[in-house]
Chains A and B, each alone.
Chain A
Amino acid sequence: MVFEVLIGGVVSGCLVGLVALSLTAVLYATNVVVFATGEILMAGAMGYYVLVVLLGVPWFVAFPVALILPVGIAVLIERALVTPLLARKANVVMCVIATFAASTVIGQGTLLMVSPLGYSVPFVGGFDKVRIGPLAILPQQIVVITLAVLVTVGFWLLMNKTMLGRGYRATGMNPRMASLAGIDTRVVRTLAFVIMGVAAGAAGVLIAPWTGAQALMGFPYLLSGFIACILGGLGNPYGGMVAGIGMGVLSVLLTVVGLSWMREILMFSLVAVMLVVRPGGLFGQATPAS
């Protein structure tokens, strides 16, 4: 019983961690906070619903295919909004506002087109729990944890073992210096949005069985992702993942104790305190917040 509750917390934390990773992927390279991440997540869930329920595609095929739409939207936002604004030397805040606008247009636009009740999506492997020693765990939960680990490890490998990742990190540290060193910062920017599309889309695909595919499903996850992102340290994707899991476990524990009503208040207050006391996050260096 205790294990099952904790597993539930870890699983919801992994999902939040994926959103946090997608937010940091872009934040690190461009300093832009993408408010439309929630809608990109929703696109993943919608694509997965169409593939699995309407077309009857098996889930392991539907998973990668469903990521096409979110990655496409992410790159579209980069090409249509962020790059033209940055090219005009506009303030980064203007880019953030533009993504905020994109978020409302995509979210509310989808709401007009689809059923407001959303669509239910089946769990991978149904409701039969798998027993691993003392643990009873849903197959879908195993898939979530596995994929979250895979995405994080893949991100780490990309960042640390490839030239592309090296260029990405260099751009994050100092874009001008990186471009002087011959790194095409435009490619890096696109890469950041592709990573973001993959991570957020995967989160949407994985969340869908619990929440259903809904037009406005992304917003609460965007907020949780923000919190994880800040607690884990802005610009530290692994910290975001750890903070997300911590938040998932904490919120499950709060529910068990009967204090679930104070979850959001506690989290957001924690964020405000964190931003002020340790802008670098739990694991980050105490970087100046400027």
Chain B
Amino acid sequence: MFAGHRLGKAKIVVWLLVCATILLLPKVIQNAYLYFMLSMLGTYIIFGLGLNLFWGHCGQISFGHQAFYGIGAYTAVLLARNLDWPFVLPVIGGGLFAAVVSVVVGFAILRLRAVYLALGTFAFAMAVFYVFEQWTAVTNGINGLAVPMPDMFGHSLGKEGLYYMIAIFTMAAYLGCSLLIRSRVGRAFRSIRDNEVAAGACGVNVFWYRLMAFGLSAFLTGLAGGLYAYSPGWISSQDFGAGLAVIALTIVVVGGLGSNIGQVLGAIFVVFVPELLYGLQQWRVIVYGASVGLVVLFLPEGLSGGLTGIVSRMSRWLVRRVPAEAD
């Protein structure tokens, strides 16, 4: 019990530190490119959390969530451009529309399992990708659409305002996911992941919970897509192709399937590690691919699993040391 209490305190301290960092970062660094990267980091964290809900917690594989990211992005941009909705509403609209699409598609596609589900979602995402590319009347295809500047009640948010909005969305998504996986719903997801038949026998409605996981993850992914659209200020169909599938896979697998903090690590990895190879932009995709391969081979639980291992080993070492010193 004492340890649990201490853990709670440590967690609060970590959260406060994270909040302070997020609040103060713009005061310390005034760099347009860094703003862009931090915004991308936020959207990728939400993307990872969404995909992880479906894949990591509910155990259903998807290679096709980039479609929901794209649907969210296009919906948000079209709402902002054509209906002139103030900021936040287009983003939420994008998330909701992605969720609606996912539920409709899910009725059919969720009949598939395992590798077949991966192929089915991939096929769905490729179909959506070609719709983005070919339906030029709405999406303007490869040439893309300009995204209006985010504004609320007549005030332009600017880069700093957008950064804070994305930070709020990211923290809300993280908290929401953390609460969800501790709830009855989260337990149902995990029971389906661990043994679908047993979960069904225990009274979990497998079909509805899988559909719910698909819908919730699509909602978060669509939300991430809507937020993403504002960062570069320009979206085109090329943003939502197979390249994005590689990024999604890298976030979830390198970060650690089934771990929420892993998605944060995965997103940090995806956004910042290629920057270490500045000037070798072509290496970006190779780095993603190679790291996914290495993680699958040598670190099956991803960065978060590796970190947990180190932390638990350190704490065991501390526990062994502390009583000796107390004596």
Chain A interface residues (CB < 8 Å from chain B): 31-33, 81, 84-85, 90, 92-94, 96-98, 100-105, 108-109, 111-112, 219, 223, 226-227, 230, 234, 261-262, 264-265, 268-269, 271-273, 275-276, 279, 289-290
Check B13 for interface membership: any CB of A closer than 8 A: no
Chain B residue contacts of A84, Cβ below 8 A = 297
A-B contact pairs, 14 of them (CB 8 A): A33-B115, A33-B119, A85-B296, A90-B296, A90-B300, A94-B300, A101-B293, A103-B289, A108-B285, A109-B286, A268-B127, A271-B120, A275-B116, A276-B108
Task: Give the most central of B283, B288, B297: most A CB within 10 Å.
Answer: B297
Known: A105-B289, A265-B131, A276-B108. A97 touches B115 (CB 8 A): no
Check B173 for interface membership: any CB of A closer than 8 A: no
State A94–B119 Cα separation when bound (angstroms). Answer: 14
Check B290 for interface membership: any CB of A closer than 8 A: yes
Nearest Cβ on chain B to A100's Cβ, whole angstroms? 7
Known: A102-B293, A271-B123. A96 touches B115 (CB 8 A): yes
Secondary structure of the A contact surface, majority rule: helix
Q: How many A-B residue pairs have CB under 8 A?
A: 116
Chain A residue contacts of B290, Cβ below 8 A = 101, 105
Check B261 for interface membership: any CB of A closer than 8 A: no
- Which among A108, A227, A265, A290 is the interface contact of B116 at CB below 8 angstroms? A290
In B282-325, the 8 Å CB interface with A consists of: 282-283, 285-286, 288-290, 292-293, 296-297, 300
Report the count of interface residues on B (CB-CB < 8 A): 37
A108–B113 CB distance below 8 A = no
Nearest Cβ on chain A to B304's Cβ, whole angstroms? 16
Known: A84-B297, A227-B123, A272-B108. A93 touches B130 (CB 8 A): no
Chain B residue contacts of A104, Cβ below 8 A = 246, 285-286, 288-289
B293–A81 CB distance below 8 A = yes
- Which among A94, A108, A223 is the interface contact of B126 at CB below 8 angstroms? A223
Nearest Cβ on chain B to A24's Cβ, whole angstroms? 12
Nearest Cβ on chain A to B58's Cβ, whole angstroms? 14
Known: A100-B249, A272-B109, A276-B111. A226 touches B296 (CB 8 A): no
Known: A93-B61, A93-B114, A108-B289. 8 other contacts (CB 8 A): A33-B115, A85-B296, A97-B249, A100-B289, A227-B123, A271-B127, A272-B127, A290-B116
Nearest residue, chain B, Cβ from A88: B300
B123–A230 CB distance below 8 A = yes
Chain A residue contacts of B296, Cβ below 8 A = 85, 90, 94, 97-98, 101
State A43–B253 Cα separation when bound (angstroms). Answer: 28
A275–B109 CB distance below 8 A = yes
Nearest Cβ on chain A to B71's Cβ, whole angstroms? 15
Nearest residue, chain B, Cβ from A102: B293
State A279–B286 Cα separation when bound (angstroms). Answer: 34
A279–B119 CB distance below 8 A = no
Chain B residue contacts of A112, Cβ below 8 A = 282-283, 286
In B117-161, the 8 Å CB interface with A consists of: 118-120, 122-124, 126-127, 130-131, 134
